[in-house]
Homo-oligomer: A and B are copies of this chain.
């Protein structure tokens, strides 16, 4: 159906090798033939077949990006940065949404490997104790061995796999946030955590507890309710927390989306934020500033991480196999936190 190199060659009265040369422009070709060839290309609406090319040249022009959910701005922003940066090298990005399922993640990595992608960028969190974790490590190791760069973007390193990691230091971010809450006078601080078992949840919770510990404030497990990373988790988690006899003076949400849910729940109950309840987010997605009240949160360098991951994936920025970079989060103080009401 579609025209092939041979068709173009026939039409231009040259060999297919010559056509290939003018198309790739990496070989001397007489100007006159080049023009004849280009004319034939135009006449026939010829479009190279990337598969044939990939097969013959053993290279591919696509990279894979694995995210939990591309419609979540946290991932959308990172994926966009990866894509934008890699597009500079004419690379295409396959984007895969796992919905947070480690099994799906493995499946997608497998599919990407079949495609012989140049690189795979993995975002999101690990589930260190899941049965899938060992499989993941093995798969990544194999990928790297097969010359497929693997970049962990905003995700903990995968030791001994050769994957490059751009980690977010969630421990410090969460610690800074809780320290701030403490400094404002809060003592009864509740958390709506991310999914149990996720590395992100662990790191953020650990940072929170560390801040509590250093201030000599006892951690109350009944104030930790688990959830997901979505608005609904925040809404529901807040209901649970606000039904308690002794209400918290502050709620630390797993991320901004969760915080938005908390704010909605508070609004529904006519609880003034931050007057009667302080709320914090995490990530600083672009909407955090438009929430009401504007969210006090922790800014993660999503774009910087994505861009850099894109450059490393594209091979434009060097990175030693197994290198790990830690990216510092930044506390962003806005309006959703105030001192607790005395009494």
A114 CB within 8 Å of chain B: yes
For the complex formed by this chain, how many copies does it contain in all?
A: 2
CB contacts under 8 Å to B, within A239-298, are: 260, 263-264, 286-287, 289-292
Given contacts A95-B95, A96-B92, A114-B49, contact A80 B71 (CB under 8 A): yes
Name A106-155 residues within 8 Å CB distance of B: 110-116, 142, 146-147
Residue A304 CB within 8 A of the other chain: no
Closest to A110 in B: B47
Residue of B at shortest CB range from A90?
B111
Q: How far is the CB of A31 from chain B (nearest CB, A)?
A: 24
Enumerate A53-107 residues with CB–CB distance to B below 8 Å: 54-55, 60-62, 69-73, 76-77, 79-81, 83-84, 87, 90, 92-97
Complex contact B142–A50 (CB within 8 A):
no
Interface size on A, residues (CB 8 A): 54
Please tell me if A30 contacts chain B, counting CB pairs below 8 Å: no
Residue of B1, B90, B93 near A95 (CB, 8 A) is B93
A14 beta carbon closer than 8 Å to chain B: no
Cα distance A62–B95 in the bound complex, in angstroms: 11
* Closest partner residue, chain B, to A115 (CB atom): B50
Residue of B nearest to A62 (CB): B94
The answer to whether the Cβ of A160 comes within 8 Å of any Cβ in the partner chain is: no
Is there contact, CB below 8 Å, between A49 and B55?
yes
> Which residues does chain B contribute within 8 Å of A115, judged by CB atoms?
50-51, 62, 92
What distance in Å separates the Cβ of A105 from its nearest Cβ neighbour in chain B?
Answer: 13
Given the known interface contacts A76-B76, A79-B71, A83-B70, the answer about A52 and B49 at a Cβ–Cβ threshold of 8 Å is no
Contact assessment for B231 and A114 in the assembled complex, using a CB-CB cutoff below 8 Å: no
What 3 A-B pairs have minimum CB-CB distances, sorted nearest first?
A292-B292, A71-B80, A51-B54
